[in-house]
Structure 1
Amino acid sequence: MKIAITGGTGFIGSKLTELLINEGHEIVILTRKEKHPKNGVSYVKWLEEGAASENGLENIDAFINLAGISINGGRWSRKHQKQIYDSRMEATGELLRIIELLPKKPSIFISASAIGIYPVSLQAVYTENSECQTDDFLGRTVYDWEMKARKVEKYNVRTVLMRFGLVLGRDGGALPLMTLPYKFYAGGTVGSGRQWVSWVHIVDVVRAISFALHQTRIIGPVNVTSPAPLTMEEFGKTISLVMNRPHWMPVPSFIMRLALGQKSKLVLEGQKVLPKVLLDEGFQFEFPKLDSALSDLYK
C-alpha cells in the first residue's frame, strides 16, 4: 500500500513508519520542513503557506493522522490547551481538504484519538460502545477531534479512530517521567492509588494500527489499550519490581496539582478501558501484561 502519515517523525509515527516499511509499504510523510527521500520514505510539505500538498499525494491508499501537539509536554495553561486543541483541528481539517481534492480517494483513514473521551471512573469498565465524555478539556478535545475526522466518511472512506491509552515507550510518552522517581529510590503511589491506568506498549500500538489497516471489518472507534489495565498503586509496584527499586514514598494529590495544574488529571484520574474491538477481531497483544512490557523496555 501507499500510505501517507502525519506526525510520522514523532514518538508513535517513527515506530509506525519503521514497521510499515518492514512490511513492504510505500510511505509518504507529511511535514512542515523540506526533506529529501530517505530509507524508503518520501516527504510532502504541508501546513505551510503555498504548500499544495495534494499535488504530491496522488494514488494514496491510506491516510494515518497522528499530528498534534503532545498532551504530555508543558503545563496546561490556557495557551497550551488552545495549542493542543487547534493543532488537532488544523491537521485534520487540512487532510479533509486534501482528500476532497484527490480524484482517487483513499480506502481508509486512520485518525489518532484518546481514551480521555471516556468519563473518569473508579468503577466503570469502558469498551468502544460505552458513552463518551465532553465536559472537560481532554474529553471535549478528543470528541471534537473524532467528529471532525468522521467527516471523511462522506467520501465512502473507511474511518478508524484509534483511542490510545497511556502509551509506554522508553524514549517518549509518559513512562520516562513515571519511572524517574524510582531511579532515585523515591518511587511510590501517586494520589489515591485507586485510579485506573489503561496502558499499552508502543510495539502493540503500531502493530494495532497496521492490523486496522488490513482488517476491513474494523470501522469507527478502537480502544488501543492492554487487555490488563491496573490501578495506579499496582502500576507503581510493578515498576518497582521490574526496576528493582523501592516503592515507598507516596505522592499526595495536592502535590501533583501544584506541580502540574490541570494536567495532573492524567495521573490522578483514569478510566478502566478494554480493547474489545481488537480482541474480537483476533488481535494478539505482544505485551498484554505490564511486567513483561516494562521488562522489554528496561531490559
Structure 2
Amino acid sequence: MKLLITGATGLIGTALYKKLRNQHQLTVLTRNANKAYQKLGHDIEVITQLSELNDLNPFDAVINLAGEPIADKRWSNDQKRRIEQSRWQITEQLAHLFEASDQPPGVLISGSAIGYYGRQGREPVTEDSHKVHDEFTHRLCAHWEALAIQAESDKTRVCLLRTGIVLAQDGGALQRMALPFKFGLGGPIGDGKQMMSWIHLDDMVDLILYLLNNEECKGPYNATAPNPVSNEEFSRTLARVLNRPCLLRVPAVVMRALLGEMADMILTGQAVLPERIQQHGFEFRHSTVRDALQQCCKA
C-alpha cells in the first residue's frame, strides 16, 4: 500500500513508521524535513505542507497523527489556540483533499483522544457513552473528529482514535511520571482516586494496523487498554516496578498552582474501555498496567 502519514516524528508516529516501512510505500508530512530524516532515515519521501498535493488519488490510506503536544506547556489562551490549530488545520486540509480526489484513499485513520469525554469520575466509559463533560479537551476533540468525518464517503471509511495515556520505554508521558519516583519522591496526585486510561505503545501501533487492515472498522475507537486504574494504583505499581518508595502525595492545590487549567486533566479522569475494538476481535499484548510498566521500565 501507499500511505500518507502526518505526525510521523511523534511518539506513536515513529513507532508506527518503523513497523510499516519494510512493507509499504510511505510519504511523511512534516514541518521539519531534517528532523524527519534524522529520526526516520533518509530513504523516505517527505512533504512539508499539504498544499504540495492536488488530491490524494495516489494513496491507499492516510494516517493522521499530527498535533502539538497537549501537556508540554501551561494552557495559556495562545497555547490553546496552537493545540487546536495544529490538529484542526491539517485535518480540515485532508478532508478537502479527500473531496478533491476521484479515487480517494480507502481509509482515513485520524487522531483524537479520550479527552473527548471530559471528566467522567469512576464510571466506565465506552464509545457509546453519550454523557460528556463540556470543557476544553472535549471541544478540542469533538471538532477534530467532526473535521475528519467530512472525509467519509462510499469510497472512504474513517476511523477515529480516542487515545489514552501512551506508555512507552522511551519518551512520552511515562518518562515524566517516572522521574520523581526514580529520586524517591514519587506518589499519588491529589486524592489519587481519579482514573487513568492508558495503552502500551506496542498495542497502540497494533491497534492502528488492525484498523488499517480490517475494512469493517469505522467510526470512533477507544485506544486504551481494557483495565484502567486509579492514579493511586498506577503510582504504587510504578513504584514497585522501579523498586522505589511511594510515600509522597502531590496536593491538588500545588498542581493547580503549577499548571493552571491543565491540572484538571490530571486531577480528574475517565475509566475508558476499548469496547468496540474488542468486539472486532482485537487482542491486547499488555492488558494490565503492571505488565505494561514492567515492559517499559525493564531497561
Shared fold per TM-score greater than 0.5:
yes
1:221 equivalent in alignment to 2:220: yes
Match of 1:70 in 2: 69
Match of 1:121 in 2: 120
Match of 1:46 in 2: 49
Match of 1:19 in 2: 19
Q: AA paired with 1:292?
A: D
Inter-partner Cα distance in structure 2 for 1:62 and 1:42? 15
Inter-partner Cα distance in structure 1 for 2:180 and 2:41? 39
Q: Are 2:119 and 2:133, in contact at CA under 8 Å, matched by a contact in 1? A: no
Match of 1:275 in 2: 274
Q: AA paired with 2:97?
A: I
Q: Are 2:116 and 2:141, in contact at CA under 8 Å, matched by a contact in 1? A: yes
Give the aligned length: 294
User: How has the CA–CA distance of structure 1 residues 157 and 134 changed in structure 2, closer, same or farther, with 3 Å as cutoff?
Assistant: farther
> Tell me, what secondary structure is at the counterpart of 2:151?
helix
Inter-partner Cα distance in structure 1 for 2:233 and 2:33? 45
Equivalences for residues 253-264 of structure 1 within 5 A: 253-264=252-263
How many angstroms does 1:100 deviate by? 2.4
Q: Are 1:195 and 1:231, in contact at CA under 8 Å, matched by a contact in 2? A: yes
1:3 equivalent in alignment to 2:6: no
Inter-partner Cα distance in structure 2 for 1:131 and 1:181? 37
> Tell me, what secondary structure is at the counterpart of 1:161?
strand
How many angstroms does 1:45 deviate by? 2.6
1:252 equivalent in alignment to 2:213: no
Match of 2:96 in 1: 97
Q: Percent identity?
A: 38
Structure 2: 5+ residue runs without aligned partners? none
User: How has the CA–CA distance of structure 1 residues 96 and 123 changed in structure 2, closer, same or farther, with 3 Å as cutoff?
Assistant: same
Match of 2:208 in 1: 209
TM-score (normalizing by structure 2): 0.93
RMSD: 1.7
1:235 equivalent in alignment to 2:234: yes
Q: Are 1:72 and 1:173, in contact at CA under 8 Å, matched by a contact in 2? A: no
Inter-partner Cα distance in structure 2 for 1:92 and 1:134? 23
| Further displaced range: 147-156 or 162-171 | 147-156
Q: Are 1:119 and 1:132, in contact at CA under 8 Å, matched by a contact in 2? A: no
User: How has the CA–CA distance of structure 1 residues 189 and 34 changed in structure 2, closer, same or farther, with 3 Å as cutoff?
Assistant: closer
Inter-partner Cα distance in structure 1 for 2:130 and 2:43? 42
How many angstroms does 1:98 deviate by? 2.1
TM-score (normalizing by structure 1): 0.93
How many angstroms does 1:40 deviate by? 4.9
1:29-53 per-residue CA deviation (whole Å, 9 max, x = no partner) reads 1122446795653112315xxx422
Match of 1:157 in 2: 156
1:84 equivalent in alignment to 2:83: yes
How many angstroms does 1:141 deviate by? 0.3
> Tell me, what secondary structure is at the counterpart of 1:153?
coil
Q: Are 1:168 and 1:174, in contact at CA under 8 Å, matched by a contact in 2? A: yes
Q: AA paired with 2:46?
A: Y
How many angstroms does 1:58 deviate by? 4.1
Q: Are 1:21 and 1:40, in contact at CA under 8 Å, matched by a contact in 2? A: no
How many angstroms does 1:119 deviate by? 3.5
How many angstroms does 1:155 deviate by? 5.9
User: How has the CA–CA distance of structure 1 residues 173 and 266 changed in structure 2, closer, same or farther, with 3 Å as cutoff?
Assistant: farther
> Tell me, what secondary structure is at the counterpart of 2:152?
helix
